Amino acid sequence: MGCRIQRKGNKSEGTIGVFVQHPFYGVCGITCAHVLLNKDEMNSCHENTNNKMWLSNDPKGTVYQPYPPHVIGVLRMAIVKEGNDNPIGIEIAVIQLTKRKPNSGQFSASRETREDGLEFNSGKICREPGENRLCFKYGSVTDYTEGTIIPSKYNAMIESWDEHNDSTKTKNEKQKTKTTIIRGQIMVKSSCKRSFAEEGDSGGPVFVFDTKGDIACIGIVEAGCKSMGMALVTPIGRIVDEIGVEQLIPFHPTNTKILREIEKIQQNQSEIIGNQVQMLGKLERLLDTGDHRSPRERRK
């Protein structure tokens, strides 16, 4: 969670957020749609009757983490809905994980952490995080940051720029083709010395501590404003309802430890097998160049 991702053929980058057990695609990662979709796809998805887009056999649907050629999965579905008071807006992308599936609730290696060993193993979600509550997030650009949830709901504006045809143009020279308004997002104000989220953190998971002291997810970063230190977060309840799941994937600490030990054993086995293959190859070469007669034949 909180790692950098990039889609094949797409210049934009973002952050992989949380993991769900999708009813059809299995283990999937969730991020913002604007992280992985180009402007034409964003507009098409928004204009579709059900505001959804499926990419079942798109050769450019490959997703890397953190960058090529390190494949993590395939983009399968995107949802872009502006929303209103009920239901609120949402724009997400669903990545079917085909390689390097998560086996623990560990976050990406951070440069500044709240405490050592912080993990999200419970799979809990918090639908109503409340106001003036402390929260924290992990993003691939600003890493670990803390903030405070601001009262009321806010709208996020996603602007589509004609940036995929001419990369030499500045943002002011590019043609703005469409503005999508994602309504009813959670506003978070940074409580640390830097912005809560910046460009590239989109999709990053945001959390609070519940009454039992467990980490619970409140959503994923939708947008950030560096100059104001603010960020907008898409509520996790809206996300899981749209996907059709009840919670995020939980990781039991005991199971996590076992899985890590299994990984180590598998790595050791691979190294042993590799060494055995090398030894067999050397032995075969020695036999091919040596004298294959038996000792009795040699004495004759």
* 283 part of a folded domain: no
Mean pLDDT for 6-12 is 87
Interval 56-106: pLDDT, tens: 667 788 999 988 999 999 999 999 998 887 788 999 999 999 998 888 888
pLDDT in tens, 230-255: 899 999 999 999 999 988 999 876 65
CB burial string 231-265: b at 16+ within 10 A, e below: bbbbbbbbbbebbebeebbebeeeebeeeeeeeee
- Domain enclosing residue 157, as ranges: 4-253
pLDDT, tens digit, 9 for 90 and up, residues 23-46: 889 999 999 999 999 888 888 888
As a whole-number percent, the residues of the chain with pLDDT over 70 amount to 80
DSSP label at residue 166: -
Angstrom distances, CA of residue 230 to CA of 83, 192, 193: 21, 11, 12
| Predicted TM-score (pTM) of this structure | 0.77
Q: Is residue 160 predicted with pLDDT exceeding 80?
A: no
C-alpha torsion sign, points 64, 67, 68, 71: negative
- Is 199 inside a domain boundary? yes
Q: Has residue 289 been placed in a domain?
A: no
| Residue 92 CB burial class (10 angstroms; 0-12, 13-18, ≥19) | buried
**CA proximity to 18, closest of 255, 240, 257, 254:** 240
Whether residue 119 has pLDDT greater than 90: no
Element (H, E) at 136: strand 134-139
In this prediction, residue 54 has a pLDDT band, given cuts at 50, 70 and 90, of confident
Is the model more confident about 169 or about 125?
Answer: 125
Residue 281 lies in a domain: no
> Whose structure tokens read 């939708």?
222
Does 234 or 164 have the greater pLDDT score? 234
Collapse the DSSP code of 161 into the 3-class scheme (helix H, G, I; strand E, B; otherwise coil) and give the result: strand
Split into its structural domains, the chain has a count of 1
Quick one: CA dihedral 189, 192, 193, 195, positive or negative?
Answer: negative
Residue 255: strand, helix, or coil: helix
Closest Cα to residue 115, out of 139, 136, 141, 140?
136
Residue 267 lies in a domain: no
In a domain, 290, yes or no: no
Reduce the DSSP state of residue 154 to 3 states and report it.
Answer: strand
| CATH number for the domain harbouring residue 93 | 2.40.10.10
Looking at residue 275, what is its pLDDT?
82
Mean predicted confidence (pLDDT) in 254-261: 59
Distance, CA of 197 to CA of 136 (rounded, Å): 10
Distance in Å from the first CA to the final CA of the chain: 72
Helix (H, G, I), strand (E, B) or coil at 191: coil
Of residues 238 and 283, the one with the higher pLDDT is 238
| pLDDT (0 to 100) of residue 167 | 47
Residue 60 tokens, joined: 């450019």
Determine, yes or no, domain membership for 168. Answer: yes
Q: Is residue 150 part of a domain?
A: yes
List the structure tokens of 238.
């809206």
pLDDT attached to residue 95 = 95
